[in-house]
Structure 1
Amino acid sequence: MRILMSLLLLVLFCSIQLTSSAPNALEAQSSCCFQFYKKKIPLNLVVSFYQTRSNCPISAIVFRTAAGREFCVDPNSSWVNSHIAKMNSRTTTATTAKTLSTTV
């Protein structure tokens, strides 16, 4: 009976450990930046972007390239804001075109 109780306790402990570490896995994409990349990244290389978490030491935009590289850039730079606006218009245009093609 003790062996069964010990085994049950071990399984319970392992399941609690797995569920408590799950939220950290979701935040892996949104890591903090500690310095900005200084050069302008060509827009045709950028496939996505995200903003760093609010608890990071500096606020930054992270551009992800088709090759999977990520660059931390200054959100106050004019070229960064231009890239973001163009990326947002890409997704809006693609969504509108997809909606129009399915409704026609």
Structure 2
Amino acid sequence: MWCRLKLSQTTETAHYQSLRINFKSEIMRASSLCLMFGLVLLMAWTSEAQPVAHAVPESCCFKFIDFQIPASKIKSALKTSSHCPVSGIVVTTPRTEFCVRPDEAWIKPVMEKQLR
């Protein structure tokens, strides 16, 4: 066969290796294309999900204070969303916000005053 084609075995081997390299690069291109398509699809899917994610509340309480805040310092007191894992009250002062347990005796009059 080598004689009929008038090719040396070295040339044929080099051609075969060249084809093998090209075949590998085609596989790499195809896998890269699939990866890019998958990433674009994932980005499109997650970007559509964000406007629907209203179930995630803006603020939840995870750490609660163990001291009383004077009523004169409290600017506002708001209950956390029912979607939070633990119910709490976010108390805002002029400087910062604190989380208070709703069963604390001192916060109940503050909450009742805000309802009026």
Paired residue secondary structure (2:81): coil
Paired residue secondary structure (2:106): helix
Instruction: Show structure 1 runs of 4+ deviating over 6 A.
Output: none
Aligned mates of 1:24, 1:66 — CA distance in 2: 28
Q: Percent identity?
A: 27
Q: Closer, same or farther in 2 for the Cα pair 1:19/1:66, shift >3 Å?
A: farther
Does 2:62 correspond to 1:33?
yes
Aligned mates of 2:58, 2:46 — CA distance in 1: 18
Between Structure 1 and Structure 2, which shows a larger proportion of strand residues? 1
* Unpaired segments ≥5 residues, structure 2: 1-39
TM-score after normalising by structure 1: 0.53
Match of 2:71 among 39, 43, 49: 43
Aligned mates of 1:86, 1:53 — CA distance in 2: 20
Aligned mates of 2:103, 2:55 — CA distance in 1: 29
Shift of 1:25: 9.2
> Contact conserved, 1:32 with 1:53, CA < 8 A, in 2?
no
Q: Closer, same or farther in 2 for the Cα pair 1:21/1:43, shift >3 Å?
A: same
Amino acid at match of 2:107: V
* Unpaired segments ≥5 residues, structure 1: 1-9, 90-104
Amino acid at match of 1:44: S
Aligned mates of 1:39, 1:61 — CA distance in 2: 14
Amino acid at match of 1:86: K
Aligned residues: 79
Q: Could you say what the CA RMSD is over the residues aligned between the two structures, in angstroms? A: 3.1
Aligned mates of 1:47, 1:19 — CA distance in 2: 37
> Contact conserved, 1:33 with 1:52, CA < 8 A, in 2?
no
Q: Closer, same or farther in 2 for the Cα pair 1:25/1:44, shift >3 Å?
A: farther
Aligned to 1:20: 49
Paired residue secondary structure (1:44): helix
